[in-house]
Amino acid sequence: MKRVPRINFRTDNEPFKVAIKGFTTKIVHMMKAEGLFETQGGSIIMSQNELGPLENLYGNPGREYTKWAADLAVYFGTGVPWIMCKQDDTPNPIINTRNGFYCDYFSPNKIYKPKMWTEAWTDRFTAFGGTVPRRLVEDLAFSVARFIQKGGSFINYYMAHVFNYHAGGCAAFLMNSNSKYYATVNFRSMHYNLPPWSISILLDCKNTVFNTARVRSFFLSSLLCMFPPFYVEV
């Protein structure tokens, strides 16, 4: 594609849009022919496009390309939701989602859209010659539980998890955001002792079935210690 005359990538550029439409159309038609979408009885439950911060580099042409890509996605009629991650101005009916180490702060751009975390980053890329970063599994569990506690409805570790949910019952998420001290939480006339920087999950609003601080990593568990969040999404 880089040899196509006057082409400019990921912006409102006709040669690029012609190429993208042709490629995407071929892929979607192949998937439909094989019955891969959930509405056909397959396992594909959603489709994703990612542009995000690149849009701002192009200004208005970048925003026009985002709208064009959204219209193209709707045109395909796959029967499953289309999402755009890291895209705050996603036009309807496309759902804007978030990627990162911590996404509990995120809210979709419309109140009727679900709060979705499409990439829970378990680590970061290793820089050449640099140290190898490690993230405690306890911290990952905490970030996931806090996301659900604050209204999250979907999360995956790259790319999708399929699950069933049966309505009814009661569930609670109790959080201790102090990184040094235990906390006692009074909830429905019962007392719960929460370790530092942890969330307890009560599936029946009574019994603790999981606490994020009690997960144990098999890698360097004896050499690592707990600490508050240190990752910053860029």
| Residue at 129 is within a domain | no
50 is catalytic: yes
Q: Tell me, rounded to whole angstroms, the distance of Cα 209 from its chain centroid.
A: 24
Q: Find the catalytic residue in 14, 34, 50, 233.
A: 50
| Residue at 149 is within a domain | no
| Residue at 6 is within a domain | yes
| Residue at 140 is within a domain | no
| Residue at 69 is within a domain | yes
Domain count along the chain: 1
Copy the structure tokens of residue 78. Answer: 């796959």
Nearest to 200 by CA among 211, 189, 192, 213: 211
Structural contact between residues 233 and 100, judged by C-beta atoms closer than 8 angstroms: yes
pLDDT in tens, the chain (234 residues): 889 999 999 999 999 999 999 999 999 999 999 999 999 999 899 999 888 778 888 989 999 999 999 999 999 999 999 999 988 999 999 999 999 999 999 999 999 999 999 989 887 777 788 777 778 888 889 999 999 999 999 998 753 333 334 555 677 888 898 889 999 998 888 999 999 999 888 888 889 999 989 876 444 443 344 444 433 332
d(CA 44, CA 80): 8
Note the pLDDT of residue 162: 33
Q: Find the catalytic residue in 34, 38, 119, 138.
A: 119
| Residue at 220 is within a domain | no
38 is catalytic: no
| Residue at 184 is within a domain | no
Tell me the one-letter amino acid at 24: T
| Residue at 39 is within a domain | yes
